[in-house]
Amino acid sequence: MGGLGMLTWMGMLTWMGMLTWMGMLTWMGMLTWMGMLTWMGMLTWMGMLTWMGMLTWMGMLTWMGMLVGLGWSIWLVGLRGLTWYGGLTWCERLGWMGWMGWMGWTGWTGWMSRMRWMAMLLGWMLGWMLGWMGWMGWMAMLLAWMIL
> What's the confidence (pLDDT) of residue 132?
56
DSSP track, 77-138: HHHHH--TTS---HHHHH-GGGTTGGGGGG-SSGGGHHHHHHHHHHHHHHHHHHHHHHHHHH
Q: Which of 113, 81, 116 is nearest to 99 (CA)?
A: 116
> What's the confidence (pLDDT) of residue 136?
57
Domain ranges for the chain, please list them.
1-30, 36-147
Q: Which of 44, 48, 52, 50 is nearest to 135 (CA)?
A: 52
> What's the confidence (pLDDT) of residue 114?
52
> What's the confidence (pLDDT) of residue 117?
58
> What's the confidence (pLDDT) of residue 4?
46
The backbone torsions φ and ψ at residue 13, rounded to the nearest 5 degrees and listed phi first, read -80, 135
Q: Which of 30, 61, 45 is nearest to 142 (CA)?
A: 30
> What's the confidence (pLDDT) of residue 115?
54
Q: CA–CA separation, 29 vs 129, rounded Å?
A: 31
Q: CA–CA separation, 79 vs 143, rounded Å?
A: 38
Helix (H, G, I), strand (E, B) or coil at 21: helix
> What's the confidence (pLDDT) of residue 134?
54
pTM of the model: 0.21
> What's the confidence (pLDDT) of residue 122?
63
> What's the confidence (pLDDT) of residue 35?
46
> What's the confidence (pLDDT) of residue 130?
57
Q: CA–CA separation, 27 vs 35, rounded Å?
A: 12
Residues lower than pLDDT 70 in the chain:
1-148
